[in-house]
Structure 1
Amino acid sequence: MAHASSVIPELPDDLDGGTAVPLGAHATSRWMWPLEGLSAALMLAIIGLLLGGVVSRYMFSSPIDWIDEVVSIAFIWLAMSGAAIAMQRNEHLRLTLFVDMLPERLRTFVQALSLVCVATFLLALIGPAIEHAREEWFVVTPTLGLPNVVRVAAIVFGVALMLLIVLIHALRTVRWPQLLAAVVLVAGVAMLCLGLKPQWMQLGLLNLVIFLVGVVALSLAAGVPIAFCFGLGVMSFLAFSSDVPLVVVVGRMDEGMANFVLVSVPIFVMLGCVLDATGMGKAIVDFLASLIGHVKAGMSYVLLGSLFIVSGISGSKVSDMATVAPALFPEMKRRGNKPPEMIALLATGAAMADTVPPSIVLIVLGSVAGVSIAGLFQAGFFVAMVLLGALLVLARWKARHEQTEGARRPTAALIGRLLVIAAPALVLPFLIRSAVGGGVATATEVSTIAVLYALLVGQVLYGGIGLRKIYAMLVETAALSGAILLILGTASAMAWAITQSGVVQHLSVFLTTLPGGWIAFMGVTIVVFLILGCLLEGLPAVLLLAPIMFPIAKKLGINDIHYSMVVVTAMNVGLMMPPIGVGFYIACRIGDAKPDDVIAAIWPYLVALLVGVVVIAAVPGVSTFAL
């Protein structure tokens, strides 16, 4: 099974130390509590500072220049401390499908090998991280005049702490013979590759296939977290086939995580947590159910409509599915819907809704590819409507034999009451989209306003959230954001290595001369991102290929917004495609069904989405008419 960073992993009952178990299987250690407290404090500081900046700028026309600098420093510390918490909790995204297929004895050795690979990468990174921090000592921030080492020291801190966590976990959970064998194997392979460095350097571009494809693929199959798969690939490529110093890896990671736009990622993650905790999402679901739930295929319409609207609040597919499924599945079962069909609709509906603002994938894509986030938000809403239409048509055809005799039409008074309850929640996604799309505020500014709005509305109208729950949400936000941003950093380093190798120029010549021009390139794009969406989940696929594919698309005259929509929608379909797609397994877990039972049911919905993707790719106006 594939685990996502935001999904609590299934943990074994036997933790006696005799078998290698997933990292984070133990309860949170007391020594991690200060780190969790630091992460929560950093998260609060970032939100508070950004809100203060918005108020000062828009209410008093007096911008505070130093806020962005302080936020950028707090942000990198949040990312690295969150990555360490995610490491302890086993919340880094990984693929365990192939490991789970192995016999038990071999599986435990591969798990031990995975831990050693992670530790090797972190150990090799400490020296370059310290060197990078020394270099940044002489760089000062423009407003406060602080040495930049105050910010980049967070990378040294995070790497060292993650290494300590991995080592403690390995010593506690792995049998000594297995651990020693894994260490000897990794050390032996590293020494052999280092001895063959002159031969590697003569292979030229073939090293890309060996290290940036082969090493990454083997690490991925062994269950190494995706961020570390990328890191191992680029580090081995530079160390064994070039004379480029490894400090470059740290520099690329730093640059990948430094974009100020990315500050909105943890804040929108926090917004999703608030949505779940307050019940705002459930209020929307209840209102839609009262409005159209009584008609044939009505509950399917409600499920898709709820995902469409709720996605515009949370920005997270997992949060969307976890909010909608418990509220609708009981009634859908009563009407004769089979669980596999329900979960198939849930999974593909979540994929459809991932372009609805404020999609975290769109924010990251805009940051990496240099595309207007406001434009992406404008286009994403209409693109999602095309995919929604395809799913609605199929859902109606599927429900032609649905039994609705027992479904009562709610009274107007009940619908009105539910509308009043849901209205504050319904306003939020349109507030986010209109503010960013209209240029009133940036995605980062809107994210802070949305969190404050959701907290106040939730406190007054939806029962509120206790302080202990808020603290837990802050820590969870830090962990998830750290996992996302570490992938972003290592993927940025890997993308830089690919670009510097010159292969992009060769690829550009090949793709720009394909028979069929831009249409053929769009077809290649759909296939590539379908495959990568299956293997790497959304963000890693975007981070890895966006710097490579977007310049080629621009050469062919393809609009950046149009191409972005094709990339994201194809990737989301791949995310839900069995037998590898991570999102497919998340949906099965939320719906409490066996993946084997859902596989057959999901394919018609995936085909419907693919038809929508082809329409979006072939008709640029779908993405650009609202710009």
Structure 2
Amino acid sequence: MAHAELSEGAGGEVAQSPHRYPLLASIEHALGMLVEIPAALLVIAEIVILFAGVVARYALHRPLIWSDELASILFLWLAMLGAAVAFRRAEHMRMTAVVANAKPAMRAYLDLVATAAALAFLILIAWPAYEYAYEESYITTPALQITNVWRAAALPVGIALMALFAFLRLARSGNVRTMLGALLSVALVIAVFWLLSGSLKPLGNLNLIIFFVGVAGFCVFAGVPIAFGFGLATYGYLALTTGTPLMVLVGRMDEGMSHLILLSVPLFVFLGLLIEMTGMARAMVAFLASLLGHVRGGLHYVLVGAMYLVSGISGSKAADMAAVAPVLFPEMKARGAKPGDLVALLSATGAQTETIPPSLVLITIGSVTGVSIAALFTGGLLPGLVLALTLSVLVWWRYRNEDLRHVTRAGAGEIVRAFAIALPAIALPFVIRYAVVEGIATATEVSTIGIVYAFIVGYLIYGLLIYRNFDWRRIMPMLVETACLSGAILLIIGCATGMAWGLTQSGFSRTLAAAMTGLPGGSATFIAVSIVAFVILGSVLEGIPAIVLFGPLLFPIARAVGVHEVHYAMIVILAMGIGLFAPPFGVGYYAACAIGRVDPAEGIRPIWGYLLALMVGLIIVAIFPWISIGFL
């Protein structure tokens, strides 16, 4: 049911009728297959390349110097083709809280406005994307010695495919008048902004509020997919108020989507689907349920603890959530948990675990501020545990009256039997963490070890001996789903990175630092303002861009007012994490919704309680520096 609501809400499928225009439907289906098959093959290629790199380096001691480069080239194609698949399936994340409450006619109109707005951004960015790819043709890759256009061409191709799917969706809409009204509405808004461009330039930083708050906020609440809303706001700001070449925006989007650590996102998404399909997830949940199933809210505690344990394995919160959610969500839903509450708790645990090493954010802070990375790794464990405890208190409160009359407490023999069956599956996270700690694989490569392990164990033990449910026919749909989900997440990250760059160029970061330097009240005021500022920044920027922008500016100020650098780092990371997973702008929240296959509107109400619990935990960490620096 949640998936149906998500599909309907994410792109206007409600306004289409596949039987009304059979020729257009056939064209869309054929084009969809032409995109889905290469996207699925790219997922396989990434797994093979990265795993081959691990084997060649660790087992054969002959590293493949080109493996990371080839993986990076294919990754951008995977991201863009996956985004096109997501557009065709109407699975780009958008906020439907307002749209869902509209009358049917207005909802159909707003659905088409969402598609038209997305199409407008794609048309506007198409030529800059082509220019960017052309400029990249002059660059030769260091390892493969091929022109970089082979990689950069993914951007204009993906944009063109999404635009084509948008045209087909609009052409197949059931009401021509509504479709024309939606197109004219979007065109009129763009025309008004374009005519006002001469008046906007003199406004200076007020344009930040107009575009990054006003335009982005309006798009989000009007139901425009999040990525395209962010993209329109950034494009409008750069095109109408600055002289920046728009090709630069495409470059920043490329940078945001192409970070090699993000390659762990699709791989962990596929790993999560794989352990669910093989029965490994079923075995783990059965064992966990035998231990905590009789406790009120038991599996919610398991979710909090599981995110704490697996966090840092991949370096990406989206990948961590993708590894945990498919294991626990089905059983939790079967026990009556609401999808909105599950995705809210998943988002909260994502924010809770931002300080758990080896977090990429910790590494980034160390690299741009000069703080010891070893000290950050040591200091990050306890703050995450404090937030886990505050979340657990709220879970206890919310589920203190849960009806467990239908649940019987497992006996010792049943627990031992469940443990024996689940042991090969339970070993998976330990195998993954061992591979990272011992240097066998990088944070990106380690997911491939998990996939190979899950294939072997899942097929031989669970598929043939225990459950006998390994279905090879499900592999292809799983690969397509992996590409689709990953493309939706990565496009949001890419557009958010473009927005972050736009904020940087405005001089906003320097203004903020100057304002915070002159605050009265010493360290307490500085920490309080930092918390508020980084919650807001975290909701707009990805963690790493925000750290790169503001870390070098604010950490010297923290030292000057007497705040320990490691303590300040934990406060900043946790505050950004809360913002990152806070709707309506938090990118992490929409990633959690995409992973959980839940309409974002369903999680809005329950997430505020979890965010409050996280804020309480953050305040405790801020008040007691020992939590961060006691073991240094």
TM-score of the alignment, normalized to the shorter chain, above 0.5: yes
Partner of 1:348: 345
In structure 1, the residue corresponding to 2:144 is in which secondary structure?
coil
**CA positional deviation for 1:94:** 0.9
> Please, which runs of 5 or more residues in structure 2 have no aligned partner?
464-468, 560-564
Match of residue 515 from structure 2: 510
Against the structure 1 CA distance between its residues 197 and 369, is the aligned structure 2 distance closer, same or farther, given a 3 Å change threshold?
farther
Match of 2:562 in 1: none
Deviation at 1:460, TM superposition (A): 1.9
Distance between the aligned counterparts of 2:267 and 2:16, measured in 1?
35
2:582 is equivalent to residue 574 of structure 1: yes
Give 1:532 shift: 7.5
Q: Secondary structure at the match of 1:263?
A: helix
Partner in structure 2 of residue 275 of structure 1: 275
CA distance in 2, matches of 1:364, 1:29: 41
Structure 1: distance between partners of 2:414 and 2:235: 61
- C-alpha displacement of 1:220: 1.3
Higher mean alpha-carbon deviation, 281-290 vs 384-393, is at: 384-393
More deviation, 87-96/427-436: 427-436
Deviations 1:94-130 (A, max 9, x none): 1111222334333333332222221111111111111
* Maintained 8 Å contact 2:40/2:483: yes
108-117 vs 426-435, greater mean Cα deviation: 426-435
- 1:611 match: 616
Task: Name 1:550's counterpart in structure 2.
Answer: 551
> 318, 328, 331: which is aligned to 1:327?
331
User: Structure 2: how far apart are the matches of 1:5 and 1:361?
Assistant: 37
Write the mapping of 1:67-146 to structure 2, written as runs, cut at 5 A.
67-146=67-146
Answer yes or no: is the 8 Å Cα contact 2:575–2:618 preserved in 1: no
Task: Pick the aligned partner of 1:471 from 467, 470, 476.
Answer: 476
* Conserved? CA contact 1:95–1:224, under 8 Å: yes
Q: What CA distance in whole angstroms lies between the structure 1 residues aligned with 2:230 and 2:161?
A: 19
Residues 604-625 of structure 1, C-alpha deviations (whole Å, 9 max, x = no match) = 6554433223223444554566
Relative to structure 2, which stretch is displaced further, 67-76 or 80-89? 67-76
C-alpha change, 1:293 and 1:262, in structure 2 (3 Å) is closer
Deviates more, 1:425-434 or 1:34-43: 425-434
What is the Cα deviation at residue 569 of structure 1?
A: 4.3
Pair 488,26 (structure 1): closer, same or farther in 2 beyond 3 Å? farther
**SS across alignment from 2:162:** helix
- Number of residue pairs aligned between Structure 1 and Structure 2: 607
Residue 336 (structure 1) aligns with: none
- Aligned-residue Cα RMSD (Å) equals 4.4
For the 8 Å contact 2:82–2:484, the answer to whether it is kept is yes
* Mean Cα deviation higher: 42-51 or 345-354: 345-354
Name the CA shift for 1:276/1:66 in 2 (closer, same or farther; >3 Å).
same
Cα 1:72–1:358, aligned 2, differ >3 Å: closer, same or farther?
farther
8 A Cα contact 2:364 2:544, kept in partner: no
* 1:503 CA displacement: 1.7
Q: Decide whether aligned partners of structure 1 residues 589 and 488 sit closer, same or farther in structure 2, where only a CA change above 3 A counts.
A: closer
Contact 1:358 1:432 in 2 (8 A): no
Change (3 A) 1:186 1:548: same
Kindly provide the amino acid, as one letter, of the partner of residue 45 in structure 1.
A
CA deviations on 1:327-348 (whole Å, 9 max, x unpaired) are 25666x7xxxxx67x9757843
Deviations 1:476-501 (A, max 9, x none): 11111111221222222211111111
1:494 corresponds, among 472, 496, 499, to 499
Match of 2:59 in 1: 59
Separation in structure 1 between the aligned mates of residue 595 and residue 227 of structure 2, nearest angstrom: 23
Given that 1:498 and 1:504 are in contact with CA atoms closer than 8 Å, whether structure 2 keeps it comes out as yes
Q: Which amino acid aligns with 1:143?
A: A
Alpha-carbon distance in structure 1 between the residues aligned to 2:132 and 2:435: 38
Shift in Å, 1:391: 3.7
Distance 1:60 1:583 in 2: 38
Residues 350, 196 of structure 1: alpha-carbon distance in 2 compared, 3 angstrom cutoff: closer
Q: Report how far residue 213 of structure 1 moved.
A: 2.2
Give, in angstroms, the shift of residue 426 of structure 1: 2.1
2:167 aligned with 1:163, yes or no? no
1:276 deviates by 2.1
Q: Secondary structure at the match of 1:462?
A: helix
**Does the Cα contact within 8 Å between 1:576 and 1:584 map onto a contact in 2?**
no
Q: Report the Cα offset of residue 92 of structure 1.
A: 1.1
TM-score, length basis structure 1: 0.82
TM-score by length of 2: 0.82
Q: How does 1:299-338 map to 2 (within 5 A)?
A: 301-302=301-302, 304-305=304-305, 315-317=319-321, 320-321=324-325, 323-328=327-332
Once residues 195 and 78 of structure 1 are traced to their aligned partners in structure 2, the CA distance between those partners, rounded to angstroms, is: 38
Q: Which of residues 476, 483, 488 in structure 2 aligns to 1:483? A: 488
Kept in 2, the 8 Å contact 1:297–1:396? The answer is yes
Map 1:164-203 → 2, pairs under 5 A: 164-173=164-173, 175-203=175-203
The residue identity in structure 2 corresponding to 1:500 is Q
User: Does the 8 Å contact 2:268/2:322 carry over to 1?
Assistant: no
CA shift for structure 1 position 45: 0.8
2:355–2:381 Cα contact (<8 Å) kept: no
Distance 1:352 1:218 in 2: 28
Separation in 1, partners of 2:593, 2:49: 38
How far apart are 1:462 and its partner, in Å?
A: 2.2
Deviation at 1:259, TM superposition (A): 2.1
Q: Is the alpha carbon distance of 1:141 and 1:195 closer, same or farther for their aligned partners in structure 2, counting shifts above 3 Å?
A: same
C-alpha contact 1:235 1:249 (8 A) present in aligned 2: yes
Which whole-Å CA distance do the structure 1 matches of 2:137 and 2:104 have between them? 49
- Give the counterpart letter for 1:79 in structure 2: A
C-alpha contact 1:304 1:388 (8 A) present in aligned 2 = yes
Identity of aligned residues (%): 38
Spell out, residue by residue over 1:425-446, the C-alpha distance to the aligned partner (whole angstroms, 9 max, x if none). 2222233345435655321121
Q: Structure 1 stretch 397-406 or stretch 99-108: which is displaced more?
A: 397-406
After superposition, the C-alpha distances for 1:403-461 in whole angstroms (9 at most, x for unaligned) are 87986553433222211222222222233345435655321121221221122221122
Q: Tell me the distance in 1 between the aligned counterparts of 2:340 and 2:110.
A: 32
